């Protein structure tokens, strides 16, 4: 599930990606990993990935209907990774809202 605030801050839009079961794709270098998307906001995402990736590594998260978002790995605890989008949060928020409508 992806949550995004409208620009006036008064409403929230919910976007369910075409990756129905919360499945996603994450690229680290030339390697593609399937992952489970736990949540997404305009600032980043949490995903479940059974492969270790070092903190501060740069990865690319692909979201259907939105495209590629470059991310920084903030932390990994077990199989859960916290990702921070490198793109401007307002730009990401606009993409999330457009995909939700």
Domains (range + CATH), the chain = 2-100 (2.40.10.220)
Query: What is the pLDDT, as a whole number, of residue 49?
Result: 95
| Interval 2-31 mean pLDDT | 57
Q: Of 3, 31, 5, 37, which Cα lies nearest the Cα of 19?
A: 37
Q: How many CB atoms lie within 10 A of CB 78?
A: 8
C-alpha distances in Å from residue 68, one per residue of 2, 46, 55, 93: 15, 16, 20, 14
Instruction: Please give the pLDDT value at position 5.
Output: 45
**Average pLDDT, integer, range 23-34:** 93
Task: Tell me: pLDDT of 8 over 60.
Answer: no
């Amino acid at each position: 599930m992806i949550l995004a605030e409208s620009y006036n801050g008064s409403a929230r839009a919910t976007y369910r990606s075409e990756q129905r079961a919360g499945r996603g794709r994450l690229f680290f270098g030339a390697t593609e990993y399937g992952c489970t998307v736990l949540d997404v906001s305009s600032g980043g995402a949490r995903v479940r990935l059974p492969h270790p990736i070092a903190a501060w590594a740069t990865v690319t998260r692909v979201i259907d209907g939105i495209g590629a978002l470059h991310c920084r790995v903030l932390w990994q605890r077990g199989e859960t990774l916290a990702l921070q989008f490198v793109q401007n949060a307002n730009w990401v928020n606009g993409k999330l809202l457009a995909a939700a409508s």
